[in-house]
Chain A
Amino acid sequence: MSSSLIRQDLVPIVIGYALLMGALALGLRLVRRSAPESGTAEARRPEPAHRPGPGGPRARALVPAPAPALDAAPTDPGAAPAASPARRGLRAVIRPGPGWPRLILHYLGTAVGGYLVLMIVIILYYYLVAPVAGNFVQSAFTGCAMLIGLTAPVFLAASWLAERTGWRF
């Protein structure tokens, strides 16, 4: 590696990392110091009914709780009749049960939504407020798509690993 690379890229990253970790360590130390003071109040707090173990369903914890019994049969005899099979199938696709399908759908929704939001902001800002020359906007489209494409398999692999081994990141 050249010295300019070390000076311009590596040193700022290392210093920034050290500053960030130092600030977080300081915060953690302060939290731990104040923990014994509030320990008695915490001890009185009731434990949750179910706490997933190390090998528990990580994916279930990552995504929001399911909607209350969308396709379940109504228990109240006066309630509306059950949805048709086609409607239930559509609901199952839109909002699948806990597990990998829901995690992937949640991720895809977030990634596509975030990508579109960023592209709209970039187009509005760089065409209306601060026009730029060159292929900046085109590069934003392709570069961000490439970043999503590169990180999605890593995220899914890390989720699978965490689910399989019980690791917590």
Chain B
Amino acid sequence: MAQHPVIGYFVWALLFGALFAWEGLALSHLSGSVPTLSATFRAIQRYPFGRWALFAVWLWFGWHLFVRGWHFLLRA
């Protein structure tokens, strides 16, 4: 596995942490104007291009997680 500077991992952790923190803020109703992730996705899915973009993101993650480099589990 390639060695990367720790700051690179830290930035990813920060980004995902910010995502969950923002969602938590939206769910807590502390700020009534922050939409949840579900509300955001619903708003995006009103438009065809939004649905295509979301499907493309889902496809991208699905391909990386389940298809790319896939091998039968018992052969690992």
- Verify A113–B27 contact, CB threshold 8 A: no
| B63 partner residues in chain A, CB cutoff 8 A | 140, 143-144, 147
Check: A148 CB closer than 8 A to any chain B CB. Answer: yes
- Verify B55–A111 contact, CB threshold 8 A: yes
Check: B52 CB closer than 8 A to any chain A CB. Answer: yes
| B69, chain A: closest CB distance, angstroms | 9
Check: A5 CB closer than 8 A to any chain B CB. Answer: yes
| A113 partner residues in chain B, CB cutoff 8 A | 48-49, 51-52, 55
| A43, chain B: closest CB distance, angstroms | 18
Of the candidate stretches A27-35, A75-83, A88-96, A97-105, the one touching chain B is: A27-35
Check: B2 CB closer than 8 A to any chain A CB. Answer: no
| B67, chain A: closest CB distance, angstroms | 4
Bound together, the chains give a CA A113 to CA B50 distance in angstroms of 10
Bound together, the chains give a CA A26 to CA B24 distance in angstroms of 8
Band of interface residues on A: 20 to 34
Of the candidate stretches A50-58, A115-123, A158-166, the one touching chain B is: A115-123
Q: Indicate whether A5 sits within 8 Å of B52 (C-beta atoms), given known contacts A27-B23, A143-B67, A147-B59.
A: no
- Verify B67–A34 contact, CB threshold 8 A: no
Main secondary structure of the interface of A (DSSP, over half): helix
Bound together, the chains give a CA A30 to CA B31 distance in angstroms of 13
- Verify B68–A143 contact, CB threshold 8 A: yes
Check: B12 CB closer than 8 A to any chain A CB. Answer: no
Closest 8 pairs (CB-CB, A-B): A114-B55, A27-B27, A113-B52, A118-B56, A143-B67, A5-B76, A117-B56, A114-B56
- Verify B59–A27 contact, CB threshold 8 A: no
Convert A3-29 into 0s and 1s, putting 1 for each residue whose CB lies closer than 8 angstroms to a CB of B. 011000000000000000001001110
Residue of B nearest to A2 (CB): B76
Which residue of B27, B48, B66, B76 contacts A147 across the interface (Cβ within 8 Å)? Answer: B66
Convert B56-76 into 0s and 1s, putting 1 for each residue whose CB lies closer than 8 angstroms to a CB of A. 101110110011100001101
- Verify A114–B27 contact, CB threshold 8 A: no
- Verify A110–B52 contact, CB threshold 8 A: yes
Which residue of A109, A114, A116, A139 contacts B58 across the interface (Cβ within 8 Å)? Answer: A114
Check: A146 CB closer than 8 A to any chain B CB. Answer: yes
Check: B20 CB closer than 8 A to any chain A CB. Answer: yes
Check: A1 CB closer than 8 A to any chain B CB. Answer: yes
